Structure 1
Amino acid sequence: MRTHLRHDAMAYAEKLPDSGADLSTGQASLDIAAGRLDLTVHTRMAPAERAWRKLETDPWNSLHQGFEWCRAWVETHGNPLAIVEGRLNGEIAFLLPLEIERHFLVRSAQFIASAFTNFNSGLFSAAFRQIAADIPGRDFELLLAKTLGDHADLLSLTNVPFDWRGERHPLAGLPSIRNQNASFQLPLAPTMEETIAPLNAKSRRKKYRAQVRKLEAAGGFEHIRPVSLSEQKALLECFFRQKAARFAAGGLPNVFQAAETQAFFHMLLEHDRGADDVPLELHAIRLKGEHEGKIAAITGLSRKGDHVICQFGSIDDSLMAEASPGELLFWLVIERSALNGATLFDFGIGDQDYKRRWCTIETAHHDILLPLRPAGHLAAMTHRGVTRTKTLIKGNPHLYALIQRLRAQGGTTAAAKPED
């Protein structure tokens, strides 16, 4: 697949502005106990790159706010940017990589690529995280509103864990609502046996052996992780096909269908820097014997330091479904991650049975909703209402199951609409 980049999108990441546009606007300051906090908004990535790359090395900060992850999205989507750079006494304190999207008449400032991020933290220095709780919440709100008010009506930061790796999030004092979904993690030990010990280890091993036997009876399989870029891109295209079929069967809209979305994931494959910092790597189960060469399951992983995140997965229902190749692939990538020194395997946001079977940690997420202008107040109220409704539905198993059945049935009729 050839990636098509928009000229105006590329300009956001270039070192020189197009048409002589200003690189920064919206400057504001606040005197706090620790000193002077200065905020600046950049409308291009390049001016903030040096500080950006410095902050992203901190293991506490999410890989989804990393420079390469954000640049891949910016160069394929082209939304206006509003990157908030905070400096305390002249030293870099934090960076909020934001893009502006218009929803009806409301301009929303949100994390770049937030439609495809499993958890968001922003980028904060360890020193700022230690003193952030001492900043008066109302003063911080007014500072952000003054800084971003010319760019957006609402600051909407979704999927933010307020408690992460033993630290409280610096923005936890801003107006927020708990997200209807949590994320799920599995701590990793040096070996697979130690990793599954807190789970039902005996049942886990029995299921794994049964899956392997079923596949070997049909000719065998191999766990592949393509090395060449061309092989990775071919496997990614296979994922898009499998996922499209899965969504269609379930009566769901295909969130991976847009050409710019597919181009984004293709670009992530091009930024593998090796070591323990990988934006996206693909793993799959390829069958042998009667299904020679066919791909039964695929998963996409990201890794930053000791933290591995499962970004997506797919299966081909027509290939050895009785052997649960998707579940088997999770075993294999979890084992590989443990042996390679990772300490946390993250299944991402969303409550599903298979995640609960694997995970011992459930992490609550919150959505920060800070109105910046009058139009933002109504949008924040609407977001809260929708979130509460989703939480209510998901908290009622019978109602949730009914809605899932209706949605699946709707996908089989010509009258069904994706938004239903």
Structure 2
Amino acid sequence: MQTSILDNRSLVAEPLSPGKPKAAGAGRTMVIGVAEDLKIEVFDRMEPLETEWRRLQRDSFTSLHQGYDWCDAWVRSHGHPLAILRGTIAGETCFILPLEIVTVRSVRIARYIASPFNNINNGLFTPTFRARCSAQVARSVAQAIVRALGGHADLVSLQNMPLDWRGERHPFAALPSVENQNHAFQLTLAADMEATIRQLNAKRRRKVYRSQCRKIEAHGGFEHVVAETDTEKAAMIDLFFRQKAVRFDAHGLPNVFRPCEIQAFFRSLLQVAPEDCDTPLQLHAIRLNGENDGKIAAIAGLSRKNDHVICQFGSIDEHLVPDTSPGELLFFLMIEKVIGEGAAIFDFGVGDQGYKRRWCTIETVQHDVLLPVSAKGRIAAAGLQLVTRTKAAIKRHPTLYAFIQRLRARAAKEPTGESEG
């Protein structure tokens, strides 16, 4: 059942062109004068949109992180209020923006569902709407979003949005934005592993791989395994959380996987059955034989949407075969496997790290679009822009960035009275 946070009234922007007046007697319902009338509605539940949502998400332009199952798992584990925007033309859905509202320091922010763990946020748009969305239409839609969320949010924050993705310009690329401090890194996959590593330093890649295999064989060998049963999945995700906690603590970093709701989110994703080429989360690991028989040296979580594979997270046990770089070996094996399964892009996610640059051929710059809804939101937007630019500057200086991370880790271990929700 649909429940609009606008008391079941739709609200969109002023007409774009002369001769397209507001509908008479429509109350707060207004239309955008494109080729047909465009209407925006707001939903506080996902279920009424599931059929349309799953239809739109099949498009390769749409990120897995705006897929229905990904968002549903987050909503169930976090329970934030929703403000899902649907745009329709002549009754046909042309886009869905899945937003949740979180309160940070008394500012109500409407953001993409699961934003803290998303890689690329594109929203869900039909190809026709993407092709027809001019700068004028984008501005009018942005105005409509602001009006639709009046009284319910102070700021709309559309973060981690690539202006260009898979050869297409984003419909909102013309809106004012600030470059996000985190870029995303991808590897283009060729017909086989040999052709893929040829894009990199193939000679070095083969040498490193053979060396890693020889070193692990000296300890008794290994297997590349994928968790299949519920029992295997539960045991492996629990081990990942433990491995990650140890590594974060050892390096003095804040543990983003510590909150119980985050752990519940990833556990929930593991229960979603794969559909066609879509897999919300799959766990891969290096399992040792010989002297460390049955022990797990490295774990990674992969998601797949059509031909796009994303590494969501990874961990290693630094005490097992430490001279073999099991994490790097696992990447080699996973990439080789997904090539054989028809994938075209292996995505290492956001964040600039040395191993990603050694593997990747593409660096995707992402932007944040901030749409103030209230006076408080305008102040918050200015602050967020400053913070984003400051973070970008800090990340260009590794020593300073490491120091800030240590401070964050220390603060994360101390009690705090603030909450997000």
| Cα pair distance change 1:419/1:111, threshold 3 Å | farther
- Give the aligned residue type for 2:236: L
Residue 253 of structure 1 is matched in structure 2 by 254
In the TM superposition, what whole-angstrom CA distance separates every residue of 1:177-232 from its partner, at most 9, and x where no partner exists? 00011111101112100111111000000000000000000000100001112211
Residue 402 (structure 2) pairs with residue 404 (structure 1) = yes
Q: CA deviation at 1:134?
A: 4.9
In the TM superposition, what whole-angstrom CA distance separates every residue of 1:343-399 from its partner, at most 9, and x where no partner exists? 110001111110000001111000110101111101101110111111112223xxx
Q: CA deviation at 1:407?
A: 4.5
Residue 63 of structure 2 is matched in structure 1 by 62
Residue 131 of structure 1 is matched in structure 2 by 132
Residue 29 (structure 2) pairs with residue 35 (structure 1) = no
**Separation in structure 1 between the aligned mates of residue 139 and residue 308 of structure 2, nearest angstrom:** 34
Residue 277 of structure 1 is matched in structure 2 by 278
Residue 123 of structure 2 is matched in structure 1 by 122
**Separation in structure 1 between the aligned mates of residue 238 and residue 9 of structure 2, nearest angstrom:** 40
Given that 1:87 and 1:94 are in contact with CA atoms closer than 8 Å, whether structure 2 keeps it comes out as yes
SS in 2 for 1:135: helix
**Separation in structure 1 between the aligned mates of residue 138 and residue 48 of structure 2, nearest angstrom:** 28
Given that 2:5 and 2:42 are in contact with CA atoms closer than 8 Å, whether structure 1 keeps it comes out as no
SS in 2 for 1:279: strand
| Cα pair distance change 1:336/1:259, threshold 3 Å | same
Residue 412 of structure 2 is matched in structure 1 by 418
Q: CA deviation at 1:405?
A: 4.9
Given that 2:6 and 2:148 are in contact with CA atoms closer than 8 Å, whether structure 1 keeps it comes out as no
| Cα pair distance change 1:23/1:114, threshold 3 Å | farther
RMSD: 2.0
% identical equivalent positions: 52
Which structure 1 segments of 5+ residues have no match?
1-14
**Separation in structure 1 between the aligned mates of residue 42 and residue 218 of structure 2, nearest angstrom:** 60
SS in 2 for 1:76: helix
**Separation in structure 1 between the aligned mates of residue 194 and residue 222 of structure 2, nearest angstrom:** 22
Given that 2:286 and 2:299 are in contact with CA atoms closer than 8 Å, whether structure 1 keeps it comes out as yes
Residue 314 of structure 1 is matched in structure 2 by 315
Residue 180 of structure 1 is matched in structure 2 by 181
Q: CA deviation at 1:109?
A: 0.2
TM-score (norm 2): 0.90
Given that 2:138 and 2:171 are in contact with CA atoms closer than 8 Å, whether structure 1 keeps it comes out as no
Residue 17 of structure 2 is matched in structure 1 by none
**Separation in structure 1 between the aligned mates of residue 37 and residue 275 of structure 2, nearest angstrom:** 38
- Give the aligned residue type for 2:265: F
Residue 92 of structure 2 is matched in structure 1 by 91
Residue 353 of structure 2 is matched in structure 1 by 352
Q: CA deviation at 1:34?
A: 2.1
- Give the aligned residue type for 1:313: G
| Cα pair distance change 1:395/1:21, threshold 3 Å | closer
Residue 262 (structure 2) pairs with residue 264 (structure 1) = no
Residue 205 of structure 2 is matched in structure 1 by 204
Given that 2:254 and 2:405 are in contact with CA atoms closer than 8 Å, whether structure 1 keeps it comes out as no
| Cα pair distance change 1:323/1:24, threshold 3 Å | farther
Count residues with an aligned counterpart. 397
**Separation in structure 2 between the aligned mates of residue 127 and residue 136 of structure 1, nearest angstrom:** 13
**1:3-402 alignment, distance < 5 Å:** 24-28=8-12, 29-396=30-397, 400-402=398-400
**Separation in structure 2 between the aligned mates of residue 23 and residue 209 of structure 1, nearest angstrom:** 64
**Separation in structure 2 between the aligned mates of residue 35 and residue 118 of structure 1, nearest angstrom:** 33
In the TM superposition, what whole-angstrom CA distance separates every residue of 1:57-110 from its partner, at most 9, and x where no partner exists? 111101111111111111111100000000122211100000000011210000
Which structure 2 segments of 5+ residues have no match?
13-29, 415-421
Residue 10 of structure 1 is matched in structure 2 by none
Given that 1:26 and 1:146 are in contact with CA atoms closer than 8 Å, whether structure 2 keeps it comes out as no
Q: CA deviation at 1:237?
A: 0.6
SS in 1 for 2:365: strand
